[in-house]
Chains A and B, each alone.
Chain A
Amino acid sequence: MAGPAARVVPRLLATRAGAGGQVALFAALLALLGAFIVYPLARVLAVALHGPDGPTLAHLVAFFARPLFVEALGNTLLAGAAAVALGSVVALPLALLVARLDFPGRGIVHTLAVLPLVIPPFVGAVAFQQILGRSGLVNLLLLDTLGVAVPFLEGLRGVVLVQALHYFPFILVNTVAALQGVDPAADEAAQVLGCRGWRLLRRVTLPLAFPGFVAGALLTFIRVVDDLGTPLMLNYTKLLAPQAYLRVTTVGMNDADGYVICVILVVLSLGALWAARRALGRAEWATIGRGPERVTTRLRGGRAVAAWAVAAVLLAPALLPHAGIVILSFSKVWSFSYLPTRLTLDNYAEILVRTPHFVWNTLRYAVLAAAVDVVLGAAIAWLLLRGAVRGRAALDAIATVPLAIPGVVLAIAYLRVFHGWDVPGIGEPLTATWGVLVIAYAVRRLPYTVRAAYATLQQVHVSMEESAQSLGATPSRTARRITLPLMTRGLVAGGLVAFVTSAVELSSTILLVPRIELGPLSYGIYVYMQSAMGRGAGAALGVVAILLVAVGTWVVNRLAARGVGTAFRL
C-alpha cells in the first residue's frame, strides 16, 4: 500500500555523487562552445537579419525574390541528391564487398576507399582537369580514337561527379558498419525460408542496413551542400556555397546576402542532420553477451581476383585525381598531352629542402586539433549518455552546428570577433597566432568526434560501469579502468577523421594564416599554385599530404580495426 503522501521533489540532477563535477563540466563545455561556435555564428546571423533600421527578415525574403539565388538553391539541392545517388553507385557494391566478403588485401581496399576524402584542394582540381578535363588525358584519347570529347567536368554535372567521387566514403563506411552490425540470424532465418543470393540481399540484408546507409547519405548531402572548393575550382558558381563566398569576399563583410545564404546553408544542413537522427532512431547497440559473429564468405583464387577487379573498377575513378597529383608532382611541362612531356625531381627538392615547415605545421595543428576534439567529443558524449544535467542535449546541438558553417564564414567570424581583443598575458590577438588555426580546425571537426564518441559510448553498456561501481570503483576510477579503455578505438578513429580532414582544410586557413611560415600544407599548396612554376611543387606538397593521411589512416586501421568506421558515422 502506498505510504504517507510525501511530496516528491523534482530534482535538477540525480543525487548521484559527482553531480557537482557534472555541472562544472557542463558549464565549462558550454562556455567553450559558446565562445567559439555560438557567439561568432550569432555575429554572422546578426548581419543577415539586421537591416539599417534594426532586426528584419527583409533580407531573407529578398533572397527568395532573386531568381539567381533561387536557382542556386535548386542547384544545390539537386547537386546534393545527385552526388548521393552517384556516390551510392560506387559505395554500395564496395560496401558489400568489404563487409560480406573476405579476400586477401581487403584491408587495403578499405583504406583506399577512404582516400578520396583526402583530395588536397586546388591541386586536386588541377589533377582532375589533367585527367578528365576538356583537354585532359581521357578526352585526348577519346578525341584521337573516336573523335569525340566528353564534357565530364562541365557545369553542374562536373561538380556532381567530382563531389560524388570525393565524398562517397561517408556512405561506404556507414553502410559497412551497418552491414557488419546486422544480426546474422536475420540472414539465416531468411535463408532457411528459401531466400538467398540477390534476393536475400534485396529483401533482407539491404533493408536492415538501410538506416546506416541513410546516415551516410545524409552526411554526404551535407558535405556536398557546403562544399566550396569544388565549385570554385570548376568555375561553377550557381550554387549556394560559392555564392556566399563570393558575396562576402567580393562585396565585403557587411554584405547581407552572403550571410543570408549562410543561414540557409545552416538550415539545410541542420535539417538533414535531424532527418538522419530520425532515420537511425534511438537504437541501443549495446554489446551484451557475445556479439554477433561476423558472417563473411571467404574468397580465394579466381573469385578473389574477381572481387579485386570489381573493387578496382569502382575505386579507379575516385583515385584518378590522386594519380594525377602524383604525375603532376614529377612534371615540368604537362600541357595538352596525355602525359607530361618533361619530367623532373626539382619539385620534391623544392618542398622538402626549402619549405619543410608546411609539413611540420600541418602535423602540429592537425594533431592538436584532433586531440582537442577527442577530449571534447568524449566529454560531450559522456554527458549526453551518462549525465543527468538538464539541457545537455543543447551541447549536442551546438557541437553539431559546425557541420553547417562554411569554413570561410567561420574564418571571417573569428576575424571579426577576436581581432580586436588581446589574449591576456600575451598582448596579441588570437588571430595573430597559430592557435586560431587549431581552434578553427577543432571547431569544424568537432561534430565527427562527438558522433564517434557517442556511438562508441553507446556500445559500452551502462551495466558494465555499474558492475564496476558495485565492486567499489568510484565513477572516475570506473571511467579510467572500464569506460575509457573500451572507448579508445572509437575515439582514436574519431580523432583520425579530425586529423585527416584538418590536414587538407583550406577555406578557413586561407583567411586565418597569420604568416606564410605558419601555414599548413593546404596553404602551401595554395601559395605554390599561384604561378606556372609552382604547379609541380604544389602537386608535390599534395602528394605529401595524401601520404601523410594515407599512412595515418592505415596505422589507425591496424590499431583500431573495427573502430575506424565509427568516426565517419552519424
Chain B
Amino acid sequence: MAHAMLTALSALALLLTAGVAPALAQGGELVVVTSFPKELFEAYKKAFEAATPGVRVVIKQQQTNQGVTYLRETRARPDADIFWVSSVDAFITLKSEGLLEKAKAPNAAAPRVPARIGDFPIHDPDGLFYGFAVSGYGLMWNTRYLQAHRLAPPKEWIDLVEPRYHNHLVMSAPSRSGTTHLTVEVILQAYGWQKGWEILLAAGGNMGTITERSFGTPEAVISGQYGVGVVIDFFGLSAIASGQPVDFGYPTLTAVVPASVGRVKGAPNPAGADRFIDYLLSDEGQRLLFSPAIGRLPVVPALYARGPKGYPNPFQLKLGGVRFDAKLSSSRVNLVNSLFDHLVTFRHAELRAAWKAIHDATAAVARARSGGRDVGRAEGLLAEARQLASAVPLDEKKADRALNDAFKAKADVKAAHETQWDAFAKANYAKARALAEQAATAAR
C-alpha cells in the first residue's frame, strides 16, 4: 500500500510540474500591478498591445495596499515592471522605500503636460512616477433613493454633517482605499486638523456603514443600499454612463489629484515599461480616458477641446482654496488612517448611536426653544456631547513623520497609541450618547 501511495504522489508531482513550467516570463512581457478596474486596464492593454506589437501586457490586479505589500515582499526578485494606481501616497511610500526607478517618457514633459493641476504637482519632481490622469473627489447619490427618502443631494463636505442625512451616507475607510485617504486629507488640510476631524467624526456618525473596499462605496450607492457616497469622480461618471440611476457632483472644496504610473525598481522589462508609460501619456493613450467606461480626466489640457461635450475640465474648474500638500499628506498617512479606523471604522456603531442621540436631542431642544421653554441646561449638555463626539486624541503637532514612521517600525508604540485611541473613542461616544439623551430628557 505504501508503495502505491508513493507512486501516486510522484505521479501527481510530475503533473504539477506541468503547471510550474509554462508560466515563464518571456522577453516580450510587461507585468503591471494595478488597482484599476477591469474596464480601464483592459482598454489600455488592448490599445497598447495594438500600438506596440511584440509586447504582451500581463495584469496583476490588487487593492493599492496589497499591491504595495506585494512589491515590498518581492523586492529581492521583482517580477513586476509597472505600478499603476490612483493613490499618490502609495507612490510616495514606494519612493521612500526605494522601490521605484526613473523611467524615460518624453510624452510626459512640459508644456504638453503642465507641472501642476491647481497646486498639486502632476509628476513626481524626482521623476520616479508620472501622473497620467487626474481625478477629483466628490459625492455620488442615488436619485431613486433620495427621492424615496425625500432628500436633496448634498453639495459640500460640510453638508454631510446635517441631521437629515443620518444613516443615509456611505464611505470607505481611508486605510482600505487610497482615494478615500486623500479625500480625508483634503478635508483635514482644507479645514485644519481640529475642525477637519470634527467634520469627519460628525459625518462619520451619519454614515450608514464604512465599507471595506473602495469600490464598496459606489457599489452601495449604485445598488441603492445607501443614498450618498463619497467617491472618486470616475466611479460616478462611469456609473452614470452605464445607465445607473445615480448622479455626481464635485464639492467646491476639493482637490484634484493625479493617478500615477511608475516603473518598479529592478523591473525585468525596463524598455517595455518606459514605452508603456509613454503610451499612457500620448494623445492616443490620453484620449482613452474619455471613454464612458473609464471616465477619467486627461492631464493634457489641449485634449479637452476635442473631448466629449460637457466633460469636466479640471484645468478650468474653480477648485476653491485647497492647496494640497502631498508631502504633508504622506508624512502622516499611517497616523491619519489609524486614527480614522479607531475613531470611526472600528467604533462605528457607537459613533453612529451617539450622533443619532445628538440629532434627536438637537431636534428636541429646538422644539422646546420654540415652545418657549428654558433650554439652557439642555444646550449645555448637548454642546458637551457634541464636543465629545468630535474630539480627536492626537495633537496636530504630534502627528509628525517621526511618529508616523514609528507606527510602521515599532509595534509597541503603535499598539500603545491605538489602545489609547480606542479607549478614548469608546468612552467618549458612550458619554456623548448619555449626555445627549439627558439633554433630550431635560428639554421635555
Residues of A within 8 A of B (CB): 18, 21-22, 24-25, 28, 32, 51-52, 58-59, 62, 65-68, 126, 129-130, 133-136, 155, 232-233, 235, 237-238, 242, 246, 248-257, 332-337, 342, 364, 368, 371-372, 375-376, 378-379, 382, 386, 412, 415-416, 419-420, 423, 426-430, 432-435, 438-439, 475-476, 478-480, 483-484, 510-511, 513-518, 526-535
**Interface core residue of A66, A130, A135, A420 (most chain B CB under 10 Å):** A135
* 28 chain-A/chain-B pairs, Cβ below 8 angstroms: A18-B2, A28-B6, A65-B419, A66-B418, A67-B419, A67-B422, A129-B225, A133-B223, A233-B212, A235-B211, A256-B411, A335-B245, A336-B144, A337-B224, A364-B19, A379-B9, A382-B1, A415-B70, A428-B24, A432-B79, A433-B23, A435-B16, A438-B19, A516-B58, A531-B39, A531-B215, A532-B244, A534-B38
Q: A423-B20, A533-B238 are in contact. List 5 more A-B contacts (CB 8 A).
A: A246-B176, A251-B408, A257-B414, A368-B19, A526-B61
Asked whether A18 lies within 8 Å of B244 as measured between CB atoms, the reply is no
List of B residues within 8 angstroms of A337 by Cβ: 144, 224
User: A135's closest neighbor in chain B, by CB?
Assistant: B224
**Interface core residue of B213, B223, B239, B349 (most chain A CB under 10 Å):** B223
List of B residues within 8 angstroms of A134 by Cβ: 208, 225-226
Asked whether B58 lies within 8 Å of A257 as measured between CB atoms, the reply is no
Asked whether A335 lies within 8 Å of B222 as measured between CB atoms, the reply is yes
Given contacts A335-B142, A419-B73, whether A126 and B1 have CB atoms under 8 Å apart is: no
User: A23's closest neighbor in chain B, by CB?
Assistant: B2
- Confirm or deny: B249 has a beta carbon within 8 angstroms of a beta carbon on chain A: no
User: B8's closest neighbor in chain A, by CB?
Assistant: A375
Asked whether B23 lies within 8 Å of A335 as measured between CB atoms, the reply is no
List of B residues within 8 angstroms of A416 by Cβ: 73
Interface class of chain B by DSSP: helix
List of B residues within 8 angstroms of A155 by Cβ: 349
Given contacts A337-B224, A428-B20, A515-B31, whether A532 and B242 have CB atoms under 8 Å apart is: yes
Asked whether A68 lies within 8 Å of B37 as measured between CB atoms, the reply is no
Q: Restricting to B5-31, which residues have a CB under 8 Å from any CB of A?
A: 5-6, 8-9, 12, 15-17, 19-25, 31
Q: How far is the CB of B47 from chain A (nearest CB, A)?
A: 16
**Interface core residue of A476, A529, A532, A533 (most chain B CB under 10 Å):** A532
Given contacts A252-B69, A435-B20, whether A68 and B342 have CB atoms under 8 Å apart is: yes
| Other-chain residue from A135, A257, A415, A530 in contact with B223 (beta carbon distance below 8 A) | A135
List of A residues within 8 angstroms of B63 by Cβ: 249
Q: How far is the CB of A395 from chain B (nearest CB, A)?
A: 12
Q: How far is the CB of A22 from chain B (nearest CB, A)?
A: 5
User: B172's closest neighbor in chain A, by CB?
Assistant: A235
Asked whether B2 lies within 8 Å of A510 as measured between CB atoms, the reply is no
Asked whether B235 lies within 8 Å of A532 as measured between CB atoms, the reply is yes
Given contacts A432-B23, A513-B60, whether A375 and B423 have CB atoms under 8 Å apart is: no
Given contacts A415-B70, A515-B59, A533-B238, whether A478 and B1 have CB atoms under 8 Å apart is: yes
Distance between Cα atoms of A415 and B215 in the complex (Å): 26
Residues of B within 8 A of A (CB): 1-6, 8-9, 12, 15-17, 19-25, 31, 36-39, 58-63, 65-66, 69-70, 72-74, 76-77, 79, 142, 144-145, 148, 175-176, 208-213, 215-216, 218-220, 222-226, 235, 238-239, 242-246, 293, 334, 337, 341-342, 345-346, 349, 407-408, 410-412, 414-415, 418-419, 422-423, 426
Asked whether B175 lies within 8 Å of A246 as measured between CB atoms, the reply is yes
List of A residues within 8 angstroms of B61 by Cβ: 516, 526-527, 530
**Interface core residue of B25, B211, B225 (most chain A CB under 10 Å):** B225
User: B6's closest neighbor in chain A, by CB?
Assistant: A25
List of B residues within 8 angstroms of A435 by Cβ: 16-17, 19-20
Q: How far is the CB of B406 from chain A (nearest CB, A)?
A: 12
Asked whether A514 lies within 8 Å of B23 as measured between CB atoms, the reply is yes
Asked whether A129 lies within 8 Å of B223 as measured between CB atoms, the reply is yes
Distance between Cα atoms of A423 and B244 in the complex (Å): 48
Asked whether A386 lies within 8 Å of B1 as measured between CB atoms, the reply is yes
Distance between Cα atoms of A379 and B341 in the complex (Å): 47
Distance between Cα atoms of A438 and B19 in the complex (Å): 9
Q: How far is the CB of A270 from chain B (nearest CB, A)?
A: 25
Asked whether A135 lies within 8 Å of B77 as measured between CB atoms, the reply is no
Q: How far is the CB of B46 from chain A (nearest CB, A)?
A: 11
Distance between Cα atoms of A484 and B76 in the complex (Å): 46
Distance between Cα atoms of A510 and B422 in the complex (Å): 30
Q: How far is the CB of B255 from chain A (nearest CB, A)?
A: 23
User: B246's closest neighbor in chain A, by CB?
Assistant: A335
- Count CB-based A-B contacts (< 8 Å): 250
List of B residues within 8 angstroms of A430 by Cβ: 20
Interface class of chain A by DSSP: helix
Asked whether A379 lies within 8 Å of B5 as measured between CB atoms, the reply is yes
List of B residues within 8 angstroms of A130 by Cβ: 223
User: A336's closest neighbor in chain B, by CB?
Assistant: B224
List of B residues within 8 angstroms of A535 by Cβ: 219, 222-223
Asked whether A432 lies within 8 Å of B25 as measured between CB atoms, the reply is yes
Asked whether A257 lies within 8 Å of B408 as measured between CB atoms, the reply is no
Asked whether B16 lies within 8 Å of A368 as measured between CB atoms, the reply is yes
Q: How far is the CB of B432 from chain A (nearest CB, A)?
A: 17
Distance between Cα atoms of A22 and B5 in the complex (Å): 10
Distance between Cα atoms of A526 and B224 in the complex (Å): 20
Asked whether B23 lies within 8 Å of A518 as measured between CB atoms, the reply is yes
Asked whether A510 lies within 8 Å of B62 as measured between CB atoms, the reply is yes
Distance between Cα atoms of A423 and B20 in the complex (Å): 8
Asked whether B16 lies within 8 Å of A438 as measured between CB atoms, the reply is yes
Q: How far is the CB of B186 from chain A (nearest CB, A)?
A: 20
Asked whether A126 lies within 8 Å of B223 as measured between CB atoms, the reply is yes
Given contacts A66-B418, A415-B73, whether A426 and B2 have CB atoms under 8 Å apart is: no
Asked whether A419 lies within 8 Å of B77 as measured between CB atoms, the reply is yes
Q: How far is the CB of B66 from chain A (nearest CB, A)?
A: 5
The 7 closest A-B pairs by CB, nearest first: A336-B224, A21-B2, A530-B37, A479-B1, A531-B37, A336-B144, A379-B5
Asked whether B1 lies within 8 Å of A534 as measured between CB atoms, the reply is no
Q: How far is the CB of B177 from chain A (nearest CB, A)?
A: 11
User: A143's closest neighbor in chain B, by CB?
Assistant: B148
User: A516's closest neighbor in chain B, by CB?
Assistant: B59
Q: How far is the CB of B400 from chain A (nearest CB, A)?
A: 18
Given contacts A67-B419, A438-B16, whether A514 and B60 have CB atoms under 8 Å apart is: yes
Q: How far is the CB of B287 from chain A (nearest CB, A)?
A: 19
Distance between Cα atoms of A207 and B148 in the complex (Å): 53
List of B residues within 8 angstroms of A52 by Cβ: 410
| Other-chain residue from B22, B242, B341 in contact with A533 (beta carbon distance below 8 A) | B242
List of A residues within 8 angstroms of B76 by Cβ: 419-420
Given contacts A237-B212, A532-B242, whether A21 and B346 have CB atoms under 8 Å apart is: no
User: B10's closest neighbor in chain A, by CB?
Assistant: A28
Distance between Cα atoms of A316 and B3 in the complex (Å): 48
User: B19's closest neighbor in chain A, by CB?
Assistant: A435
Q: How far is the CB of A147 from chain B (nearest CB, A)?
A: 12
**Interface core residue of A68, A242, A476 (most chain B CB under 10 Å):** A68
List of B residues within 8 angstroms of A426 by Cβ: 20-21, 24
List of A residues within 8 angstroms of B144 by Cβ: 335-337
Q: How far is the CB of B430 from chain A (nearest CB, A)?
A: 12
Given contacts A67-B422, A250-B175, whether A135 and B1 have CB atoms under 8 Å apart is: no
Distance between Cα atoms of A136 and B213 in the complex (Å): 20
Q: How far is the CB of A430 from chain B (nearest CB, A)?
A: 7
Given contacts A251-B408, A531-B39, A534-B38, whether A333 and B243 have CB atoms under 8 Å apart is: yes
